[in-house]
């Protein structure tokens, strides 16, 4: 089957059992998946050129640490709440691309406006609109990938998308640092407000290119929506069971920013922070597609259990790291664990949804994971302050291992 034919097949037609392992392992990714990956790369290049610089920019506007936390907390809360609503909406639409495009356009239009912020609440407003765009597009985009990719390559398709996402984050980090360097600044903390505003404006360029790339990306046909079934139907029992370990792992998966905090506590030079951040994204980008291929060949459930176990070991060990080189090595192993699971998670959701209300399935998944991740970072920070970093990292690792065991118990291996 050609890439174009893969993109044309309706969702309902792909509810069949997964073909034998390796039967289509070498199949080419559909054009729609490749196009959405390019869109993700360009979008993350735009957002990651801005995001790491926002705390320094807010400081120049006189914002407190509490306000900085409010900005990010409110932004993520809005985005994750919308993911469920737009997932439901996706199941009522025959075409998903207009909804996905609307989300990308909204974020692209809002993001550079932070350059004109005069007071901290202006930044909050821009971030909220940016995250609204993310909330609008995420679940329909995930459903679109499920519609485009055959079940035999679906984990690889999601892994490729996540790889492009991480590659874009790496490009964005380099882009922001490069522009600051060209302006004479040697880091965000040493930059003036005007230099930071210049970076924010230039970051609009890859965002605009992302919208153009999406407009040119072909949209696969989906089965006609069934409004009554979408309203009255519940998620399949197997998917509801799988959401338990998926949510538990999300609660174990605190923000990567704590690795940077650990680096600072070990006395790492400030220049090492962006290098470590860049290294994490490079490792994730390099392993995500291979991780998806592994899940397609040996099964999503087992690939997830393996990845979560690797995460548990690496994340726990980070808490006990005593040297900067050890932290970099463990950070690389941690990045590999993400490469193993990111494509497999979404592919498992699509597989267990079985062509029934795929948008709703991704809406519930994205909202659950997003809200659990917010709680994870808050809880992790509290435990670190109260009991120390070793307990915080080891506690999260133990939860991840528990999630792996729950997954093996609650989700049967496909026949």
Query: pLDDT tens digits, residue range 183-206?
Result: 887 665 567 889 989 999 999 999
What integer is the mean pLDDT of 272-295? 89
> What's the confidence (pLDDT) of residue 19?
41
Residue 1 has pLDDT above 60, yes or no: no
CA-derived radius of gyration, the chain: 21
Q: Over 90: is that where the pLDDT of 250 sits? A: yes
Taking only the tens place, the pLDDT of each residue in 403-413 is 999 999 999 88
What are the residue ranges spanned by the domains of the chain?
31-220, 234-415
Interval 36-84: pLDDT, tens:
999 999 999 999 998 888 877 887 888 776 676 566 667 777 788 888 8
- How many angstroms separate the CA atoms of 316 and 313, rounded? 5
Question: Who contacts 61 (Cβ-Cβ below 8 Å, separation ≥6)?
Answer: 117, 118, 119, 120, 123, 193
User: Given this model, what pLDDT does residue 60 score?
Assistant: 83
pLDDT of residue 101: 96
Q: Which CATH class is domain 234-415?
A: mainly alpha
- Alpha-carbon separation of residue 278 from 165, 166, 168, 271 (angstroms): 13, 9, 11, 11
What is the pLDDT confidence band of residue 3, given thresholds at 50, 70 and 90? very low
Residue that wins the pLDDT comparison between 357 and 173: 173
| In contact, 101 and 215? CB cutoff 8 Å | yes
* pLDDT computed for residue 323 by the predictor: 94
Query: Domain 31-220 is classified in which CATH homologous superfamily?
Result: MFS general substrate transporter like domains (1.20.1250.20)
Work out the pLDDT band at 108, boundaries 50, 70, 90: very high
- pTM for the full model? 0.80
Tell me what pLDDT residue 261 has: 85
In terms of Cβ atoms closer than 10 Å to its own Cβ (0-12, 13-18, 19+), residue 307 is buried
**In terms of Cα–Cα distance, which of 164, 158, 145 is closest to 220?**
145
Tell me what percent of the residues of the chain surpass a pLDDT of 70: 86
Looking at residue 12, its pLDDT comes to 33
What average pLDDT does the segment 340-368 reach?
87
Strand, helix or coil for residue 355:
coil
In angstroms, rounded to a whole number, what is the distance separating the alpha carbons of residues 54 and 264? 19
The pLDDT of residue 358 is above 60: yes
Same fold, 31-220 and 234-415: yes
The pLDDT score that the predictor gives to residue 230 is 44
Confidence of residue 309 (pLDDT cuts 50, 70, 90): very high
Structural tokens at position 202? 């230039």
The mean of the pLDDT values for the chain is 85
Yes or no: say if 189 and 60 are a contact pair by the CB < 8 Å rule: no
Percent pLDDT > 90 in the chain is 50
Residue 68: predicted pLDDT: 64
What is the maximum span of the chain, computed from C-alpha positions, in angstroms? Answer: 61
Q: What is the mean pLDDT of residues 301-312?
A: 96
The DSSP-derived string for 342-353 is: HHHHHHHHHHHH
In angstroms, the CA 100 to CA 179 distance is 30
Lowest mean pLDDT among 1-10, 68-77, 154-163, 389-398: 1-10
CA torsion angle 154 156 157 163 (round to 10): 150
**Each residue of 71-99: pLDDT tens digit?**
666 777 778 888 888 888 887 877 889 99
Using CA atoms, how far apart are residues 168 and 165, in angstroms rounded to an integer? 5
Instruction: Report pLDDT for 22.
Output: 42
Measured distance CA(313)–CA(404) in Å, rounded: 12
């Amino acid at each position: 089957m050609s890439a174009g034919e893969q993109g044309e097949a309706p969702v309902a037609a792909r509810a069949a059992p997964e073909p034998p392992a390796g039967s289509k392992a070498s199949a080419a990714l559909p054009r729609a998946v490749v196009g959405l990956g390019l869109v993700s790369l360009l979008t993350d290049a735009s957002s990651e050129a801005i995001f790491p610089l926002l705390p320094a920019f807010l400081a120049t506007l006189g914002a407190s640490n509490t306000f900085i936390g409010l900005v990010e907390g409110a932004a993520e809360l809005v985005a994750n709440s919308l993911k469920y609503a737009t997932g439901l909406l996706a199941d009522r639409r025959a075409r998903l691309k207009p909804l996905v495009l609307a989300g990308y356009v909204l974020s692209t239009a809002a993001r550079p406006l932070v350059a004109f912020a005069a007071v901290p609440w202006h930044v909050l407003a821009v971030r909220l609109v940016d995250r609204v765009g993310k909330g609008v597009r995420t679940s329909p985009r995930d459903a679109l990938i499920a519609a485009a990719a055959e079940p035999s390559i679906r984990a690889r398709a999601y892994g490729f998308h996540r790889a492009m996402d991480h590659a874009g984050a790496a490009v964005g980090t380099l882009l922001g640092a490069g522009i600051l360097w060209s302006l004479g600044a040697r880091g965000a903390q040493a930059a003036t407000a005007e230099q930071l505003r210049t970076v924010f404006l230039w970051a609009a360029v890859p965002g605009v290119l992302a919208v153009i790339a999406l407009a040119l990306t072909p949209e696969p046909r989906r089965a006609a929506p069934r409004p009554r079934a979408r309203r009255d139907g519940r998620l399949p029992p197997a998917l509801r069971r799988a959401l338990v370990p998926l949510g538990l792992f999300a609660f174990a998966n605190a923000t990567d920013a704590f690795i940077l905090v650990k680096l600072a506590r070990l006395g790492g030079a400030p220049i090492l922070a962006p290098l470590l951040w860049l290294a994490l994204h490079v490792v994730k980008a390099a392993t995500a597609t291979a991780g998806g291929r592994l899940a397609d060949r040996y099964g999503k459930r087992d690939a997830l259990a393996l990845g979560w176990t690797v995460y548990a070991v690496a994340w726990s060990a980070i808490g006990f790291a005593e040297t900067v080189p050890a932290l970099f090595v463990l950070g690389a192993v941690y990045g590999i664990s993400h490469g193993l699971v990111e494509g497999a998670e979404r592919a498992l959701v699509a597989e267990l949804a079985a062509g029934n209300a795929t948008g709703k399935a991704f809406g519930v998944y994205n909202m659950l994971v997003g809200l659990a991740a917010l709680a994870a970072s808050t809880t992790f920070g509290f435990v670190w302050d109260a009991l120390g970093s070793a307990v915080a990292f080891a506690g999260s690792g133990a939860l991840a291992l528990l999630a792996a065991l729950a997954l093996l118990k609650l989700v049967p291996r496909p026949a």
